[in-house]
Amino acid sequence: MKIVTIVGARPQFVKCAPLSRELRKEHTEILVHTGQHYDPVMSDVFFSELEIPEPDYHLGVGSGMHGKQTGEILARIEEVLRKEKPDTVILFGDTNSTLAGALAAVKMHIPVAHVEAGLRSFDRTMPEEINRIVTDHISNFLFCPTATSVENLANEGITKGVYLTGDVMVDALEYNKGIAEKKSRVLEMFGLSRRGYLVVTVHRPANTDNRENLESIIAAFGESGLPVLFPVHPRTKKMMKEYGLWGHLPENVNATEPLGYLDMLQAMANSLKILTDSGGMQKEAYLLGVPCITLRDTTEWVETVKDGWNVLVGADKEMIVEMIRTFSPENKRSMIFGEVGASGRIADIITDFRIEGP
């Protein structure tokens, strides 16, 4: 079987790696990188560290407004699909690359497989939420990481082609944790002691495009009383410079370039707490057993909140500082994301299942 796998952003590179290893045991995989994340520290380093094969196509779309970017990706993916004529297209998560890939494939009557289907934050002001909903409603295979994601789809009338597989991120972490422990020197590089610092990331438009929110969040970092490792997304850095914040950060905040996956994994695994507005990092924090403080009012990973390992604080400075000081999960973590082997289960389903008709 010929499979086209489409990725475009760093979380998708991480999810792609374990699934590609499984798919290539029996199938021909054509890897397409849309170029949605194009900075070397956001892209190239992930392919080398995660041992992902070089993309067969690099579309080089780059950044842009949502409509323009999605349209550019769609048009360029359509050209690839016309040339390759795959049996299935595989997509991950909720980016513009995900939506564009799904639209291109479904219009050409190519079966669509959505990894990480069924997530919902129920906040339609977020572009990712729209991308998730549309992609799920036009997919043939819906690979759900949690029981909640299966329920979300059922509530929207989607029950056909739905599979509870567990999360491929479990496979990625299992495979890479030991490698990161051996290879990464991130703690020594930044003078950090285990469980004695915070790891923070901020990149959502609700925070970066709102000066008051971004100032409030950074002020909270400064009042944390702990060393703060802050790998800064290129777009966040641009906005910080625009607001006059860059170069005037609190002394305890170490703002650095984005880290490679192994360094980031090692930094997260040994931190006291993680503060983020990233969906993927909320999940990684849970899997690593590190308390997570989410700089948003909603989350697609509601299970982590229900389990007591994640708390939503938005951009409220006082709340952020209070949670840094007091938030301490009391519950044991459960197997909400499933056991190791989700990648193999997904590959087996794709191998065994044949869709009748377009």
Q: Catalytic residues, which ones?
A: 203
Residues 6+ apart with CB under 8 A from 136: 114, 117, 118, 142, 153, 156, 158
The rounded distance, in Å, linking the Cα atoms of 143 and 150 is 9
Residue 308 CA, distance from chain mean position: 21
The rounded distance, in Å, linking the Cα atoms of 271 and 197 is 6
CB 256 within 8 A of CB 189: no
SS3 258: coil
The rounded distance, in Å, linking the Cα atoms of 350 and 287 is 26
CB 112 within 8 A of CB 91: yes
State the alpha helices, DSSP H only, in 38-142: 44-49, 66-84, 96-107, 127-137
Residues 6+ apart with CB under 8 A from 25: 347
Give the pairing of strands 28-33 and 112-115: unpaired
Phi (first) and psi of residue 164, to 5 degrees: -90, 100
Containing 130, the helix (H) or strand (E) segment is: helix 127-137
Residue listed under structure tokens 């009748």: 356
